[in-house]
Amino acid sequence: MRNFVRFLARYHIFLFFVVLQVLCFRLIIANNSFQRASFVNSSNRIIGTLFTWKSQLTEYIELQRVNDELSAENIELRNRLIDNFINVNEHFVMINDTLRERKFRYKTAQVVNSSINKQLNYLTIDKGRDDGLEPEMGVINKRGLVGVVKDVSKHFSTVIPIINLKYTASAELERTGNFGLLRWDGVDYRYAYLHDVPHHADVNLGDTVVTRGSSAIYPRGVPIGTVSEISAPEGSNFHKIQVLLNNDFNKLRYLYVVDNLLKKEQRELEEKTRSDDQ
């Protein structure tokens, strides 16, 4: 016993160091789980407010480009207005459309903070629980796929973008329908990789890559990027496809958060099927 006390007295600093490191690594590992209930991140009130001030300051520099983009989008939407169309046949006009049910609903949000230079990049956006956001909602913008909501606080949310090592999404080639897993390799924020597309699939440079919509997070067919390089690693049955991302993650500002109204139904059904198997 006395030896043990002496051991403690001698190495107490080292032991304290080990305890702290274990604590840190527990945090890191807990951080890996997707639906972590966290309060120490940038959706935190204080940090979120700081980032909002910062983005208000830097907003100026971006105004011109953002205005151009918004007005281009306005024109596109204006072209779709009902006033632009005439009724072909009065008999077919329905007031209450029962043929379609709304599946996706969009909410706008602005980026208040983002990074592109790390392996685990995140975005912080200025909408939170109060605006109806929940974890695992998809995030897109005019140009295409951005990422998925990770944590939500009262007024802010954090988003895992494509350029985060933890991000994966199911994606397909628009022309042929072959699908694979989209992942970032941590090197260049302009490129991601599409894995698991078999050798026999017909892939051309410049093919468009879109979301597959299988995980009930994004609608099907949201553009992601274009094929910029195709290689065949030796001993593998799959292509390694480099995708030039449509989005420049260095310049994100306005985003749309996608709420899939039928997500719960799809998930529950899939869960039931899976548990019946076992």
Pick 70 or 187: Cβ nearer other proteins: 187
User: Cβ-count burial of 151 within 10 angstroms (0-12 exposed, 13-18 middle, 19+ buried)?
Assistant: buried
Q: How distant, in Å, are the alpha carbons of 77, 85, 86, 87 from that of 82?
A: 10, 6, 8, 10
Letter string b/e over residues 32-58, b meaning 16 or more CB atoms within 10 A of that residue's CB: eeeeeebeebbbbeebbeebbeebeee
Per-residue burial over 84-114, b if 16 or more Cβ lie within 10 Å, else e, is eeeeeeeeeeeeeeeeeeeeeeeeebbbbbb
Strand ranges, E, within 102-205: 104-114, 123-125, 138-141, 144-152, 157-161, 168-173, 179-183, 191-198
Give min distance, CB of 128 to other proteins, in A.
15
Nearer Cβ to other proteins (51/193): 51
Q: Tell me the C-alpha distance between 277 and 274, whole Å.
A: 5
d(CA 106, CA 127): 12
CB of 214 to other proteins, least distance (A): 27
Radius of gyration over every alpha carbon of the chain, rounded to an integer in angstroms? 23
At closest approach, how far in Å is the CB of 221 from other proteins?
A: 30
Q: How far apart are CA 143 and CA 157, in angstroms?
A: 21
59: three-class secondary structure by DSSP? helix
Minimum distance, C-beta of residue 145 to other proteins, in the bound complex (Å): 20
Single out the residue of 236, 241, 266 nearest to residue 104, CA to CA.
Answer: 266
The nearer residue to other proteins, 152 or 222, going by C-beta atoms, is 152
Closer CB to other proteins, residue 19 or residue 269? 19
Task: Give whichever of 57 and 94 is closer to other proteins, judged by the CB atom.
Answer: 57
Of 5 and 37, nearer to other proteins (C-beta) is 37
Q: Is the Cβ of residue 116 or residue 203 nearer to other proteins in the bound state?
A: 116
Task: List interacting residues with other proteins (CB under 8 A).
Answer: 13-14, 16-17, 20-21, 23-28, 30-31, 38, 40-42, 44, 47, 50-51, 54, 115-120, 122, 124, 158, 165, 186-189, 250
Question: What minimum distance in Å lies between the beta carbon of 242 and other proteins?
Answer: 15
Q: How far is the CB of 55 from other proteins (least distance, A)?
A: 10
